[in-house]
Chains A and B, each alone.
Chain A
Amino acid sequence: MSAPESRPAPEPRSPLAGHLKPGRHGAAGSRPLVLREVPATIVELAARRGRAAELAAAVRGALALDLPPPGRGAAAAGATALWIQPDTWLVVAPRGTEGALAAHLKGVAGAAGSVVDQSHGKTLLHLAGADARAALGKGCRIDLDPAAFGPGRAAVTQMAQVGCVLYQHDDVPSFSLIVPSSYAIPFFDWLCHSAAEFGYEVP
C-alpha cells in the first residue's frame, strides 16, 4: 500500500459566507452597532493535571501571554487567551497559516498541555457599539452591567440557546462572541434581530 498523498489541510470556510449582507440595517440612528465576522484561528489549550503553572510559564515565555484566571481574558500583541474552564483556555489569533498556531502552541506546551485546533468548529463574531449590551441582553442570562462585567471579562454561557464564549474588549463596549460554526447562521440571525432596534452595520 502506498503512503497517503500529502495534502495541505483545507482552509477554514466561513459558515456565514454568502449569508452576511454588508450595509446598514435596522432602525435609522446616529450610533449603529457594528456586527461582523472575524476570520480567526481558535485553539483550545488545556493544562495536564497539576501542570498549569508550568504551562502558564511556557506560554508567557513564548507568546508574552498571561493565561488568565477564571472569568477573564488576557490580550497580548499576537493573541488573546480566554479562560473557559479550570486550567483550560481558548487562544484566539487573527487567521494565519492553517494549523500554524496549534503546532506552535504544541511545541511551547510540550508535555504540560494539550492542544486542539478549533478554528473550523468555532466562529468568531464581533459586536461593537454603545447599545451592544442591550442587544446582547435579550438573549444573555449573565449580568452585562458595567458594574458586573467589564473590559477583560470572559464568560462561557448560553446566548439565544446557543453555547457561547463571550469576551468584552473595551468600554465602547465591544464584544467577541465565539459560537459553534454549525450554529453560526441562526446565532447571527438572532443577533441581527436583536440589534435591529438600534440599527446596525455589517462592514
Chain B
Amino acid sequence: MHLITCPWCGPRDEAEFAYRGDATVARPAADAGIDAFYDYVYTRANPRGWHTEWWHHAAGCHQFVKVVRHTLTHAIAATGKPTDTLPVPAE
C-alpha cells in the first residue's frame, strides 16, 4: 500500500488518488508553434529516479497534489499543493 500525504487531508491510501501525469511540463506560449505543443502534450522523459508528478485526490478533497516520487522504489520524498515548489533529492 502506498500512502500519499495530501496537503489538506493528511496521509491517504493511493486508492483515493488518480495519477495525472508529469508536473514538470510547462504550457508553451500560445504562439510557440506546433512542435512546442507536440512536446508539451506528448513528449515525456520517463525517468528512472525521482519524478515530480500530479496526483488528483479524487476520492477525497478533489484537489491536485504535487508528489515527488521515485519511479523505481515508489518512495515519496515530498508532497505539496500545486503552487508549491518541491525539493527533488539528488539521487
Contact = CB atoms under 8 A, between A and B. Distances in A.
Contacts of A155: 9, 60
Contact of A157 (B8, B16, B62, B63): B16
Given A84-B61, A85-B61, A86-B61, A157 B12 contact: yes
Interface in A136-172: 141-143, 155-158, 163
Interface residues of A, number: 13
B62 A85 contact: yes
Contact of B16 (A70, A141, A143): A141
B15 interface: yes
A71 interface: yes
A156 B13 contact: no
Given A70-B8, A141-B12, A141-B13, A85 B59 contact: no
Contacts of A86: 8, 61, 63
Contacts, number: 36
A71 B60 contact: no
A189 to B, nearest CB: 20
Interface string B64-79: 0000000000000000
Contacts of A141: 12-13, 15-16
Interface string B1-42: 000000011111101100000000000000000000000000
B55 to A, nearest CB: 15
9 contacts: A71-B8, A71-B10, A85-B8, A85-B60, A85-B62, A86-B61, A141-B13, A156-B9, A156-B59
Given A156-B61, A158-B15, 6 more contacts: A85-B61, A85-B62, A86-B8, A86-B63, A142-B12, A157-B60
Interface of A: 70-71, 84-86, 141-143, 155-158, 163
Interface of B: 8-13, 15-16, 59-63
